[in-house]
Structure 1
Amino acid sequence: MVLLLAAATGLIVANLYYAQTLVGPISRATGLTPGAAGLIVTLTQIGYCLGMIFIVPLGDLMENRRLIVSCLAGTSAALLVAASTSNAALFLASALCIGLGSVAAQVLVPFAAHLAPPHERGQTVGKVVAGLLLGIMLARPVSSLVTDALNWHAIFVLSAISTALLAVVLHRKLPQRQPASAIAYPALLGSLWHLLKSTPILRRRAAYQACMFGAFSLFWTTAPLVLATPTFHLSQSGIAVFALAGVAGAIASPFAGRRADHGKSRSTTGMALAAALLAFGAPLLLQGGRVFDLGLLVAASIVLDAGVSASLVTGQRAIFALGEDVRSRLNGLYMAVFFCGGALGSSLGGWMYAHHGWHGVLLTGLMFPLAALGVYATEFTGKKVPALP
């Protein structure tokens, strides 16, 4: 079951990222300007954030399998619309809906936490999140390779078909889970603000991951653009190979989960934030020839993805320990906050690259882990927000 959940979350969340390395071809085909190209990724992430607030909390109210299958059906339909259009407004509207439906992945992650015994919860969540992150990371090279072989419309057609098939498989294989809560939907939504206000660990972990995911989205929105310039002159296949290297970062997820199970959340978080700082600082400070610079970017992508993976698993393990009856709502709030950071990062990345080039992108990327380290420093001052052991 854990393997099925890991594979399913990876396939679902990949829908958010197929367009990330295709920003150039999609923006040219739909007539978007370079400054507005970041909207292709940003609107998907905004849809995901909205889904986190309005759909994921239903995991504490509705039968989970039915909720997941319904979301996947909507996602498949939105992918078909995206595949069949070259109109900018219609494509962006479809991107928003793809994000909304893909929150099914974040109903599955708490599902895994429900199935796991408490002493193995971090490892189980780590395995499922590793699948999720593999989906994120593999989406980029797969979309580039399919686009090189066919066109950018093809990846959306294939994804629509695979998402529909996944809905059928999950309907047959997932056990039913009906939450015990009888709270009405308006009251459910109304409880979100109270949970955010009264759960300091949630606020802290969401702040860390918002910064980390902002850095992640900024990097992966702009890296394909700079790799296609005459400086590196990579084709879509070359960009796919570059993106494939980032998959290595997913190995950090189970490792981080085990450390969190052993009470080492604080040090794991520190290492994750330091990794993101290094990923932007090294390319900014070190320059060489084309081969050196490309190798450094590959290393930076692996280090950044590992840091984001470790921070995500550590955060989810922390909030899943807070209460079974509110687990979906806590996860929805956590993901919504940090995906807002991702939306900010992707939109800033496109704008900074258009106006200040790659150097400006790297400087902006540094600001995200530096902000997270500012919050992290308060763990050692004893002020306001308690830290996890």
Structure 2
Amino acid sequence: MNTPSRWLIFVLALGAGFSVAAIYYAQPLLPLMGQDLRLSLTGMGLVPTLTQAGYALGILFLLPLGDRYDRRKLILTKSAALALLLLACSFCGQLHSLLVISLLLGMAATMAQDIVPAAAILAPEGKQGKTVGTVMTGLLLGILLSRTVSGFIGETFGWREMYQLAAISVALTGGLLWKVLPPFAVHSTLSYPSLMVTMAHLWQRYPVLRRAALAQGFLSVAFSAFWSTLAIMLSDHYQMGSAAAGAFGIAGAAGALAAPLAGHLADRVGAQKVTQLGALLVTISFALMFLLPVLPVQGQWLLIAFSAVGFDLGLQSSLVAHQNLVYSLEPQARGRLNALLFTVVFIGMALGSVLGSQVYMLANWNGVVTLATLSGFIALTIRRLGKRQPVTQPAKV
């Protein structure tokens, strides 16, 4: 297989970034949305929770279609749906409609997870980790910089205008992907119900898959609990606006830039070691924030930014390595394997959002830090206790 061009990889990274960003724009905008729509803290917490729950549902029920249909067509369809939903979100006037659209928006945003396996398919043997890592850089920068962009635009122009700009960006990127992507071969002729049944078989067949999904899921709980409550904490404790909350996403983006390095490292020294190092870094980075009360205000801001760099670097490195492990199990079932991995990841994201807001109400920011540190430690324990087992020979699925 020929190595994909740098332009193609760049477009894939761009598409992954803009599409996944759609599920994170709301986080620094929650105070603005709450004020505009008169939402309670619980109501504000439900917005990212429903979006991430929709993403998990879309991954579970829509992503397997990538093994049955041309991914190029699926990407175009989802990009059109996502652009329309982002536009509809900007016109919401009450909580109920906002929550319904948030759920559907999360499902459509799974086009990002159609793009990542596409990169693995296009990459030559031995270069999959590096190629996936490069595309994941775009996806991860989309996750992190979305907060910076939405925080600034929301505070300057309004949260509704942010969603309208997001709709335009997704529509344009979807058209670009349609032009540059080649058609993809169909790897399965199974019916949709049969595809879903084989996913259960894949989950049962591969302990490697189960450990990867559970470990990354706990890391996602920590990640989501932090970012879902950061804007509220900064507003309560430091009287900072949405733009300031989004600015911390720049610090996290520095960690995301290491994704290609993590993929390259996984190709060289093994994905197992990279997952353990990533989980350890996440745990340590969150634990450092227990020092916040003993620091002056400026020192507290610096520590939060430093911790954001550390835990994002650890989480993204672990994610790229876990994908490398999972994609190698059965190349013809990458869509379903990816669906299983990311279903658990975004269940973790949704749990992190709802648990983070509840813990913040009960135990303030120190409670959120405790939740995140504990989640990181559980992920590290899963990786450390997981004994290396021989990979079962692939079944015909």
- Give the TM-score taking structure 1 as reference length: 0.95
Q: Contact 1:228/1:235 (CA < 8 Å) preserved in 2? A: yes
| Alpha-carbon distance in structure 2 between the residues aligned to 1:241 and 1:371 | 29
Matched, 1:250 2:250: no
| Alpha-carbon distance in structure 1 between the residues aligned to 2:272 and 2:36 | 46
Structure 1 match to 2:267: 261
Structure 2 match to 1:348: 355
Structure 1 match to 2:238: 232
Structure 1: which 5+ runs fail to align? Answer: none
| Alpha-carbon distance in structure 2 between the residues aligned to 1:167 and 1:8 | 7
Q: Contact 2:54/2:106 (CA < 8 Å) preserved in 1? A: yes
Report % sequence identity.
35
Give 2:131's aligned amino acid: T
Q: Residue 298 of structure 2 is aligned with which of 291, 298, 306?
A: 291
Structure 2 match to 1:142: 149
Give 1:266's aligned amino acid: Q
Q: Contact 2:259/2:320 (CA < 8 Å) preserved in 1? A: yes
| Alpha-carbon distance in structure 1 between the residues aligned to 2:244 and 2:390 | 46
Give the CA deviation at 1:31: 2.9
Structure 2 match to 1:195: 202
Q: Residue 311 of structure 1 is aligned with which of 309, 312, 318?
A: 318
Give the CA deviation at 1:238: 2.0
Deviations 1:3-28 (A, max 9, x none): 11011100110001000111211123
Structure 2 match to 1:272: 278
| Alpha-carbon distance in structure 1 between the residues aligned to 2:301 and 2:291 | 14
Q: Contact 1:35/1:354 (CA < 8 Å) preserved in 2? A: no
Structure 1 match to 2:52: 45
Q: Residue 173 of structure 1 is aligned with which of 152, 173, 180?
A: 180
Matched, 1:65 2:69: no
SS of the aligned residue for 1:262 comes to helix
Matched, 1:212 2:219: yes
Structure 1 match to 2:89: 82
Q: Contact 1:379/1:386 (CA < 8 Å) preserved in 2? A: no
SS of the aligned residue for 1:23 comes to helix
- Give the TM-score taking structure 2 as reference length: 0.94
| Alpha-carbon distance in structure 2 between the residues aligned to 1:138 and 1:349 | 21
Give the CA deviation at 1:386: 6.0
Structure 2: which 5+ runs fail to align? Answer: 1-7, 392-397
Structure 1 match to 2:5: none
Structure 1 stretch displaced more, 133-142 or 33-42: 33-42
Deviations 1:221-250 (A, max 9, x none): 111111112x32222222222221211011
Q: Contact 2:130/2:267 (CA < 8 Å) preserved in 1? A: yes
Matched, 1:27 2:34: yes
Structure 2 match to 1:331: 338
Give 1:248's aligned amino acid: A
Number of positions where the alignment pairs a residue of Structure 1 with one of Structure 2:
384
Give the CA deviation at 1:172: 1.7
Q: Contact 1:36/1:351 (CA < 8 Å) preserved in 2? A: no
Q: Contact 2:141/2:257 (CA < 8 Å) preserved in 1? A: no
